[in-house]
């Protein structure tokens, strides 16, 4: 019984140390900037409130079925979201959550923001 309890404690500590390393903690709790295509297409960068979605939902709601969990792995564009119902459009469809029809609601970044974890969050 003591060995099992010790194993659970050590396993939990190892998992937490992995989750809360600099890169994982910042993505887990921070906002994400998506700017691989936005500015090239004349739009401000997207600021995605990852922290809010993570507070409301478990990771498996979005990962890996809707979004691959690797930077640059998801070829997101507005046609796929609005017309095809992919990516954000899986939930942001007017039924589950609001429709992505107000551009500034997502495209709220400033020019020059780099794709990744928004500056100012823990790293």
Which domains occur in the chain, in start order? 28-117 (3.90.10.10)
Per-residue pLDDT of 50-89, as tens digits, reads: 999 999 999 999 999 999 988 889 999 999 999 999 999 9
Are the C-beta atoms of 37 and 44 separated by less than 8 Å? no
Q: What is the pLDDT of residue 22?
A: 44
Per-residue pLDDT of 25-52, as tens digits, reads: 556 678 999 999 999 999 999 999 999 9
Q: At residue 48, what are phi and psi to the nearest 5 degrees?
A: -95, 120
Q: CA 34, 40, 46: angle at the middle one, nearest 5?
A: 25
Question: What percent of the chain lies above the pLDDT cut of 90?
Answer: 67
Q: At residue 24, what are phi and psi to the nearest 5 degrees?
A: -70, -40
C-alpha pair distances (Å), 35 with each of 31, 40, 43, 48, 105: 13, 9, 9, 11, 15
pTM: 0.72
């Amino acid at each position: 019984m003591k060995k099992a309890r010790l194993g659970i404690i050590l396993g939990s500590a190892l998992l937490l140390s992995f989750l809360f390393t600099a890169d994982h903690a910042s993505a887990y709790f921070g906002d994400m900037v998506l700017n691989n295509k936005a500015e090239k297409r004349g739009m401000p960068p997207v600021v995605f409130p990852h922290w809010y979605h993570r507070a409301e939902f478990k990771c498996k709601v979005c990962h890996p079925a809707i979004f691959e969990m690797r930077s640059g792995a998801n070829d997101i564009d507005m046609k796929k979201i609005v017309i095809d119902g992919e990516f954000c459009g899986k939930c942001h469809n007017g039924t589950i959550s609001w429709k992505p029809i107000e551009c500034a609601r997502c495209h709220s970044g400033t020019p020059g923001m780099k794709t990744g974890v928004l500056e100012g969050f823990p790293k």
